[in-house]
Chains A and B, each alone.
Chain A
Amino acid sequence: MKKTTKILAALVLVVAALLLTRIVLSSAFSVDGIALDGINTQLEAISKENMLLKERLYTASSYVTVASDAANLGYVEQKSQISLSGTSPLAIKQ
């Protein structure tokens, strides 16, 4: 076999190998985009849900809501304050 023919055959083989590699890699990566899109969509949905839950949580735990609910349930503000000032008389009858 001539030297030129050998070189040409080698080149054809390299090209064929590269082409095959490209086909394999492309077909492997082609579905990754769909998976990535799915993850992004899921992430977006979770972020949105998280935001809505936060909104509900903040509104429900605000003093305005708690005070209003407490008033509706009949709780009233304690107007008087009891404090123990000075020493308590211990064993006073001894």
Chain B
Amino acid sequence: MRWRYLATVYIFVFLFLAVSLRLFYWQVVKAEELTSMGQSQYGSLISIEPKRGDIQTRDGFPLVTNRLSYLVFANPKEIKDADKVGNVLSPLLDIASASLSARLTQNGFWVSLKSGIDTKTKDAIDALHIPGVGFEEDYARLYPEASMAATLLGFVGKDEIGNAKGYFGLEGYYDRQLKGRYGQAVEIHDALGRPILSQLSGNGTVQDGRTLVLTIDRSLQFLVDQKLKEGVENFGATSGMIGIMDPKNGDILAMANYPSFDENTFWQYDTSLYRNPFITDLYEPGSTIKPLVMAGALNNGLVKPDTTCPICSGPVKVGDYDIHTWNNEYFPNISMKDIIRHSDNTGMVYVSEKMGLDKMVSNFENFGLTNTTGIDLQGETNSHMLDRKTWYPIDVATSAFGQGISVTALQLLDGFAALANNGVRMQPRVVDKIVTSDGETIPIPPKELSHPVSSTTAKVMTEMLVYTVNKGEASFARIKGYRIAGKTGTASIPVAGHYDPTQTIASFIGYAPADNPKFVMLVVFNKPTASIYGAETAAPTFFSITRHILSYYGIAPTENE
């Protein structure tokens, strides 16, 4: 009897184990595969696109936000007369009726007619009650200020799988913050495979993008956009750029380039217009670099403002080259402050000889001309400073007046801003804070980068620059009653191993009010034809903008003139 009992027990245990193993196989090993098979029978996994974050100026006004947009689609099986529907929709969708008719006669259940249409057009089509024509809701970018600051903002295109992706500028740099997190949901189908949209579930994981609050001042940006366009057209330049920064914290208040593009129709523009030349293009800065070299010499105790130049009575020979002044006028025993005022190249050669190679290169490094500034924009370029061992004496001499070295406009602006900020160089920044979809604010604090010169040197240099504005070549354009520090620049353009004498990059850099600067600004015109000089093109534009900014900030004149 006992063996029968044991046999029955063993058989049951064996069967139990076999069932358990089989269940483990189906429920654990093959679980994922079976789940997806099951889901595919009653529905399909769809991804839910989050709402992209806004980009706001410092006053909270959106330069970029979202608008409702629609994709128009049709089911050709339900369209009775494709030609008639094509003719009706053609003017509304701005597509040739023949092209529409061809799509409406395709053999399928779903054809896309046009994406990105606005609510007004959608309502107009909806009112026609055409059977077989439907809409899919979507979001598109809205630019209330049109193409203002386009190169700064960048644009939104598609990635390789068709999802929204930011390119260039802020859209590119902060793409991960702006785009949010995609959600996933199962779209349930009915017995005939038609989607039951109300049965979407599991969309809790979708998270909308974060909003960027910029340091950009909308009023200044609007002003700068207008003045730059006017300047480029008036002076017959091929292009131009302007940047304004708060030297105390590195806040970029405005940054404009012209010509630019319209973000709404970016694909219609040449791709070269997408980048922001202020941070991507290297150029020889010319005389605008002289204050930085002079500040380095002052800081090292090599010269004083009233030190005289013993080699400035004529062209200076360096190696096989003769260095001339820009207008071939020479001032024997000219002082350092007058070297800056007259933008005297021979005087700067004297300063460079006093400094020597090591101090010159170290000075450029301290002012940030050899590294990227780290601004929060996509595409910043780094300048290529030669290795110290490969410098010739002529390179040291020419770099003192801005030839033979290349910088970005932003590097120059940031270096110059140190003079306006008691010798402290700040990191330029465009985003002040990030606001999450839950309303949490993440501040981005200002950051110090270096101390290229002492506070005393910065003050002495500021006095020299105020003297330059009041007595120099651009003094005709200055604003009476205000102490403004600045310097003109007329840089030759290197072409095939030599400098083109007829084409220049005209610029002006400065800050105001000189004793407590609210802003530092760089104006650059590329190849102006009305005049090749910075004093006659960039300087008037600089002072025109400065006049508005002083009025905008409510800064009263301090001088009796």
Cβ of B551 and Cβ of A81 under 8 Å apart? yes
Q: B218 at interface (Cβ–Cβ under 8 A)?
A: yes
Q: B560 at interface (Cβ–Cβ under 8 A)?
A: yes
Q: Which residues of B contact A26 (CB under 8 A)?
A: none
Which residues in chain A, 54-91, are within 8 Å of chain B measured between CB atoms? 54-55, 58-59, 61-64, 67, 81, 83, 85-86
Please count the residue pairs between chain A and chain B whose beta carbons lie under 8 angstroms apart in the complex.
Answer: 48
Cβ of A62 and Cβ of B68 under 8 Å apart? no
Q: Which residues of B contact A67 (CB under 8 A)?
A: 222
Given that A81-B551, A85-B557 are contacting pairs, would A55 and B142 also be in contact in the complex, using a CB cutoff of 8 Å? yes
Candidates B62, B142, B557; contact of A83 at CB < 8 Å: B557
Q: B148 at interface (Cβ–Cβ under 8 A)?
A: yes
Most buried by A among B65, B144, B222, B547: B144
Q: B559 at interface (Cβ–Cβ under 8 A)?
A: yes
Q: How far is the CB of A6 from chain B (nearest CB, A)?
A: 39
Classify chain A: how many residues form its interface, as a range: 10 to 19
Q: Which residues of B contact A51 (CB under 8 A)?
A: 66-68
Candidates B148, B198, B556; contact of A64 at CB < 8 Å: B148
Q: Which residues of B contact A28 (CB under 8 A)?
A: none
Candidates A48, A54, A64, A83; contact of B145 at CB < 8 Å: A64
Candidates A52, A55, A64, A83; contact of B146 at CB < 8 Å: A64
Cβ of B65 and Cβ of A58 under 8 Å apart? yes
Contact with A along B530-547 (1 / 0, CB 8 A): 000000000000000001
Q: Which residues of B contact A59 (CB under 8 A)?
A: 142, 144
Complex Cα gap A55–B68 (Å):
9
| Chain A residue nearest to B481 in the complex (CB) | A85
Cβ of B68 and Cβ of A86 under 8 Å apart? no
Cβ of A83 and Cβ of B68 under 8 Å apart? no
Complex Cα gap A48–B118 (Å):
13
Cβ of A63 and Cβ of B556 under 8 Å apart? no
Q: How far is the CB of B544 from chain A (nearest CB, A)?
A: 9
Given A55-B68, A58-B65, A61-B61, 19 further pairs, Cβ under 8 A: A52-B68, A55-B65, A55-B142, A58-B61, A58-B62, A58-B142, A58-B144, A59-B144, A61-B144, A63-B218, A64-B144, A64-B146, A64-B148, A67-B222, A81-B547, A83-B481, A85-B558, A85-B561, A86-B560
- Which A-B residue pairs are the 10 nearest by beta carbons? A58-B144, A62-B144, A86-B560, A63-B222, A85-B557, A85-B481, A62-B145, A64-B146, A55-B67, A83-B557
